[in-house]
């Protein structure tokens, strides 16, 4: 199973997003870099609006890069590798 990942600028605003992703994805591996935070998850990553407690679109401001196929609704953002 391949990992999907997402990386954010390392700042106060993105810290809450990273914490929400870890809460939604127990197998997440967080890699702290000097200027960014990268989160790897095997198979599928889910980011829920209810966990972020805000608009999912706001996370795009802090987004650096991602890997995987995107599926986005008003309530959920997910990354997967289609088999």
pLDDT in tens, 54-78: 788 889 999 999 999 999 998 999 9
Angstrom distance (rounded) from CA 30 to CA 81: 19
Angle ∠(32,11,23) on CA atoms, nearest 5: 60
pLDDT in tens, 23-33: 999 999 999 99
Q: What CATH number is attached to the domain comprising 72?
A: 3.90.56.10
Strand partners, 63: 8
Angstrom distance (rounded) from CA 11 to CA 70: 24
- The token pair at 26 is 């127990």
Task: Report pLDDT for 83.
Answer: 61
Q: Which domain holds residue 17?
A: 3-80
Q: What's the average model confidence in pLDDT over 5-10?
A: 97
Task: Report pLDDT for 61.
Answer: 93
Count: domains in the chain: 1
């Amino acid at each position: 199973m391949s990992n999907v990942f997402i990386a954010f600028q390392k700042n106060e605003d993105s810290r809450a997003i990273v914490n929400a992703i870890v809460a939604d994805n127990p197998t997440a591996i967080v890699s702290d870099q000097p200027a960014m935070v990268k989160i790897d998850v095997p198979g599928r990553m889910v980011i829920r609006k209810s966990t972020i407690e805000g608009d999912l679109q706001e996370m795009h401001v802090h987004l650096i890069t991602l890997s995987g196929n995107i599926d986005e609704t008003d309530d959920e953002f997910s990354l997967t590798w289609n088999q």
